[in-house]
Amino acid sequence: MRLPLYLDIDLSSGSVRPYPISREYARKYVGGKILAARILLDETRPGIEPLAPDNLLIVNTGPLTATGVPACGRFNITTKNVLTQGIGTSNCGGNFGIKLRRAGVDGLIIRGRAQQPVYIEVAGGKASIHDASHLWGLDTETAQAKLPGEYGKIVIGPAGENLVSYACVLSQERVAGRCGAGAVMGSKNLKAIIAFGVAAAPVANRDGLTKLTKKWTATVRANAMTGVALPKLGTVGFLAKGYKSGFVPVKNFSQPKFEEAKEFTGEGYARDFLTRNTGCVGCPIRCGRKQMEGQKEIKGPEYETAGLLGPNLLNASFKLVGSWNRLADLLGLDTISLGGTLSFAMELKERGLADLGVDFAHLDSISQVIEDIAFRRGPGDELAKGSAWLGEKYGGLDFAPQVKGMEMAAYDPRRSVGLGLGYATANRGGCHLNGGYMIFLEAIGPLSINPQSPKSKAALTMMMQDLMEAISASGVCLFTSMAIFPNALYNMASGSRMRRWISQVMGRSGGMVQLLNRRPRLAGINLSIIPYPKALALATGQRFNLGGFLELGERGYNLERLYNLREGLKGDELPKRMTTEPQDPQRPETIVPLEAMLGSYYRCRGWNEAGVPRAKKLRQLGIATLGTDPSVAKNKE
C-alpha cells in the first residue's frame, strides 16, 4: 500500500521536510478532513490563537482526488477555526487539489509565520518558498493571473491579508469559504500556494477504478438531480422549493415570507441571467452558473449566497447578488458569513442597538460596506469580526444567525428541524454540510420526511453527518450523494401517495438506522448505489465496505468533537430565536424542538449528556487514547 506524501513546511524557518503518515493513520483516517483533524490534534497545543504562528494550515486531498471518479476535484483546508476557536475545515473544488496530487503530493502542513509575504510552490513531490511582495494587496483574480498559468493555485485576497474573521481562500472561481481559512493564511503572510504536475493520481487497481468510474459517471449523469436539475438550474434551483417549504431565510431569519422574491428563483435566473453552466474540474454535474456583468462574464451565485445576500437582506435582485458575490470573491470574503453578519447588523440597526452603517432599506451602500469589511475601514472593522462578536458587544445574540460563533447557511432550521439538530451539533459551527444536510431528506430532495417532527431525526442526522464526513474525506463532492436516490423517487409527484408513504416510513426508520449507527459493521457489504467504499478500496488497495465507510465518518466526527472539547467548546445550542420564536407566527410548530432531539442524538452517538464521547465509543472507533489527553497521544492507539 502506498502511503500518502505530506510535506511539513515551516514558514518561520523556511524548512520543508516530509511529514510521515503511518500505515495505521492512512488506514484509519484515510485523508481529507479526517486525517487533517487527527494531525491538528497531534501537532498543536491546546488553547493556541487561530491567528498565531503555531496554528497549522493543513491543505490536503483524499485518496479519490484527481482519480477521475465523478466530482474528484475536491481538496480540504483544516485549521483552528477563527470564528469558533474549534475545528475549522473548508472544502473546495478549484483545480488546486488535482494539481497537488498530480505533483505527487497528498497534503501540506504549514506552520509558523513568514517574515514577509511569501507563496509556496509545489512540483515534483517537493515544495519551495518564494517572495510574494509583488502579490500582496492584490485581489484574488489578479493575484491568480500574475502567478504562472500552468499551476493550480489557492490565494487569499485583501480580506485574508487584513485578517477578517471570515476571510476565504480561492482556487480559480471556487471557494474554500468557511471558518476563516483565509485569515489564517494571511496571519502566516502566505498569499498563495501553487502546484503543478501531470502525473496520474496513485491508484491501486486502475482497471477496476476505471470500470467503476464509467458506471458511476453514467449514474450521476442520468440522475434527475445531478444530471438534470443541478446542471440546468444550479443550486439556486433550491430557491423555489425553499419558498414553498418556507426554509429561505428572510430579513435575518425573522420572517417566513418575502413576497417580492417570486421571480428570484433558479428558473428566473436561468431565463434572465444564465449565460451557461460551469463546473469544478473533474465534475460531470456542472452546477456552477455564469452570468454577465457589463461586458464581462462572471460567476453566478450559489444557493447559499443568493439566499443570504437575497431575501435575507430583503433583496430580490440577482444583479445585486451577482455583483456582491463577485466583489466578495475578489476581496476574499465568505459570502455565507458575510450575509449573516450583514443581516444581523441590519436588525441591530432596526432595533436601535447599533448603527454599523447598514440597514434593510439601503442596499445601495452594500458594495461599499463589503469593501470596508475587507479593508477594515470604519464600521467595517467590527463587521469583519462576524455576528457572534457583534452580538457579544451590542446585544442581540438571541437573534444572531450563528452557531458556536459561525454563521448559519441559507436554510431556516425552523422549517427543517433535522437540519436544526445538525446546525446545533455541527463541529465547525453553523454549517449545513457538517450538520448532515438533513434538509435534503426533509425538503429539497425526493422525500419530505416531516420537516417539523423530531421523530427519527437524531439517528438520521447522525448517519447523514457520518456519511458526509466520509465522502468529504475521500476527496469527492457531497453532491454526488444526491445520485444515491433513484429517478423513480425524484419523478414521483410531490403529493403522490407513494412518496408520502416512503417519507412516512423513512420518518419512522430511526430504530433501524440507529441499529446501523451503533453497529456499522453489520453493513459489511458494498451497494452499487453507494459507490464510495468500493472506489476507496480500489484506489487505496485497502478493504472497505459500507459499514467501514460509515465508521470512518463516525471516527472523523468524534475526532472533530474531541478537538472542540479540548479547545473548550461546550454545548450544542441554537440562537434562541430558532428554538423559541415560531418562524411563522400562525404556526407555533415552526420552531426547532432542539431539547427533544439533543438527548436522543447524544445517545445515538454514544456521547454523555454533555455531548462528550464516552470511552467505550472511542475504543470502538480505535481512538481511545485521545479521550484522555489528545496532546500526548500521537500514534499510540
**Binding residues for another protein (CB under 8 A):** 67-70, 72, 95, 98-99, 102, 104, 123-125, 149-150, 152, 196-200, 210, 213-214, 217, 221, 231-232, 270-271, 274-277, 279, 281-284, 286
Say if residues 331 and 370 touch (Cβ distance below 8 Å): yes
As beta bridge partners, residue 166 has none
Phi and psi dihedrals of 218, rounded to 5? -60, -40
In sign, the C-alpha dihedral spanning 300, 306, 308, 313 is positive
Cβ-based nearer residue to another protein, 223 or 564: 223
- Residue 441's contacts (CB-CB under 8 Å, 6 or more residues apart) are 418, 447, 449, 460, 464, 506
- Least Cα distance to 409 among 252, 304, 258 occurs for 304
Cβ-based nearer residue to another protein, 104 or 486: 104
Say if residues 110 and 135 touch (Cβ distance below 8 Å): no
Cβ-based nearer residue to another protein, 211 or 519: 211
Phi and psi dihedrals of 324, rounded to 5? -70, -40
Quote the least distance from Cβ 21 to another protein, whole Å.
20
Quote the least distance from Cβ 198 to another protein, whole Å.
5
Residue 162 CA to residue 376 CA, distance in Å, equals 7
Quote the least distance from Cβ 80 to another protein, whole Å.
31
Cβ-based nearer residue to another protein, 121 or 469: 121
Residue 246 CA to residue 182 CA, distance in Å, equals 33
Cell readout for 204 is 491501486
Residue 518 CA to residue 513 CA, distance in Å, equals 9
Residue 96 CA to residue 280 CA, distance in Å, equals 11
Phi and psi dihedrals of 285, rounded to 5? -80, -45
- Least Cα distance to 93 among 463, 541, 472, 624 occurs for 472
Residue 531 CA to residue 431 CA, distance in Å, equals 25
- Least Cα distance to 390 among 429, 432, 430, 347 occurs for 347
Quote the least distance from Cβ 110 to another protein, whole Å.
23
Cβ-based nearer residue to another protein, 23 or 271: 271
Quote the least distance from Cβ 301 to another protein, whole Å.
15
Residue written as cell 463589503?
A: 370
Quote the least distance from Cβ 287 to another protein, whole Å.
10
Enclosing H/E stretch for 131? strand 126-131
Q: State the burial class of residue 237 (Cβ atoms within 10 Å of its Cβ: 0-12, 13-18, 19+).
A: buried
Cβ-based nearer residue to another protein, 44 or 213: 213
Cβ-based nearer residue to another protein, 148 or 571: 148
Quote the least distance from Cβ 634 to another protein, whole Å.
30
Say if residues 436 and 418 touch (Cβ distance below 8 Å): yes
Cβ-based nearer residue to another protein, 152 or 256: 152
Quote the least distance from Cβ 92 to another protein, whole Å.
15
- Least Cα distance to 467 among 486, 480, 454, 451 occurs for 480
Residue written as cell 434551483?
A: 237
Quote the least distance from Cβ 412 to another protein, whole Å.
29
Residue type at 275 in one-letter notation: T
Cell readout for 365 is 451602500
Quote the least distance from Cβ 476 to another protein, whole Å.
12
Cβ-based nearer residue to another protein, 173 or 407: 173
Quote the least distance from Cβ 245 to another protein, whole Å.
25
Cβ-based nearer residue to another protein, 134 or 214: 214
Cβ-based nearer residue to another protein, 195 or 406: 195
